[in-house]
Amino acid sequence: MVDAAALSVIGPDGDAGGHECGLSDDQLLHCYRAMLRTRVFDEICMKLQRSGRVGFSVPNLGIEGMQVGAASALEKTDWVFPSYRDFGMALYHGVTPLRMMHNMFGNGLDSAKGRQMSVHFSFEEPIHFFSISSPIGTHIPQAVGAARAFQARGEDHVCLASFGDGGTSSLGFHSGLNFAGVWKAPVVFLCQNNGWAISCPSSGQTASESFAIKAAAYGMPGVKVDGNDLLAVREVVGEAVGRARAGEGPTLVEAVTFRMGGHSSSDDPTRYVPAEELEAWGERDPIDRFEKYLAQRGLWSEGDEEHVREDALAEIDAAAKEAGAQAPPGLETIFSDVYETLPDHLRAQGEAVFDLSRRKGEAAAGGGEFPL
């Protein structure tokens, strides 16, 4: 469970004690819809994977409050360097489920042109959502590099690098935080302490008393927050973003939460997560908690969740059907987006491939099982 050192704002009964979150009623309802859309998108993606229509997905169940709370503290001009468990950050900032579904299917309208696995989103707008990477922690120094570039250009953008507790054991975590501390780079490090990194519990991941305390070694503040409390996450990340934008350097935020599903669609968490632990965290559901908060403000009543969920189901189901009906990326995309002027040897190879395709037809995907 979340310890007393983790900042909380919303109590179990929804009472926030008069906390001023800086969000209007409409913005609070947008946060609520973003969380529910994230949950529905997650559910549909898992069904698509289980039915063999997409190859891979990553459950987001239980961490929607952390994602949306952090996203709400960013400006559209900021950059997100996400983990693969951050559906809500994209949805909050206006990326449509259809654009995300194009990536799930890897079709011809996918922004990555089918070159990435499912859930490895990348968007240039409405917010800069950097390409998700499967290798753990590699995006952390990339976020620092981008933040350093903002400094060099005199721009006031901020990078948010999001990663799981397992990511703190990567080389990228240590080198990224070290350089960020030295340069006072405008980056916020958001550690999603999900409780488990695949089958390794947080207690087996580090001998430190927390992940937030690691910040001291790199010369930056470390803050621990209740990751299932949307408003608490918004407050902590907002303060960190403000510090970064003011030239005061980076912050490490540890958001204590719990993934209620597997690490990925290839994982069976029932083999290692104690049932009583899962049950205890189920009672801390971030959506239920936020509903109680909205109800106290007169913004939510019984039946509202059903209406929002029905709207999300209709939208995301339609997006899945439309994306699934699209043609795969064209053969020519193999050679695009690399060179401004294609070298002669690649041009010759491309012409040979196109000729073979005209004569023999395009290659089929094969009948083997998806390796993940």
**Quick check: 3 pLDDT over 90?**
no
Is 17 a member of any domain? no
Chain segment 193-219, per-residue pLDDT in tens: 999 999 999 999 999 999 999 999 999
Instruction: Give me the pLDDT at residue 4, please.
Output: 60
Q: Are strands 200-201 and 196-197 parallel, antiparallel or unpaired?
A: antiparallel
* Of 85, 148, 263, 289, catalytic: 263
User: Residues 56-85: what's their mean pLDDT?
Assistant: 97
Selecting among 272, 297, 339, 347, the annotated active-site residue is 272
Which pLDDT band holds residue 335 (cuts at 50, 70, 90)?
A: confident
pTM here is: 0.94
b/e sequence 143-181, b meaning 16+ C-beta within 10 Å: bbbbbbebeeeeeebbbbbbbbbbbbebebbbebbebbb
pLDDT value at residue 367:
57
**Both 183 and 257 in a single domain?**
yes
- Judge if the upstream peptide bond of residue 126 is cis by omega within 30 degrees of 0: yes
Considering 85, 139, 243, 259, which one is annotated as catalytic? 259
Task: Say if 337 falls within a structural domain.
Answer: yes
Domain that holds residue 201: 25-324
Q: Do 246 and 356 belong together in one domain?
A: no
What percent of the chain clears pLDDT 90, i.e. is strictly above it? 89
Q: What confidence tens digit (pLDDT) does each residue in 107-158 have?
A: 999 999 999 999 999 999 999 999 998 899 999 999 999 999 999 999 999 9
259 is catalytic: yes
Give me the pLDDT at residue 360, please: 86
Joined together, the tokens standing for residue 278 give 């899962």
Active site residue 19: no
Q: What is the mean pLDDT of the chain?
A: 94
User: Is the pLDDT assigned to residue 248 strictly greater than 60?
Assistant: yes
Q: Residue 93 catalytic?
A: no
Domain membership of residue 60 (yes or no) is: yes
pLDDT at 1 over 60: no
State whether 125 and 268 are in the same domain: yes
Assign residue 318 the CATH number of its domain: 3.40.50.970
pLDDT digits (tens, 9 = 90+) for 307-326: 999 999 999 999 999 999 99
Confidence band for 288, pLDDT divided at 50, 70 and 90: very high
Total number of domains in the chain: 2
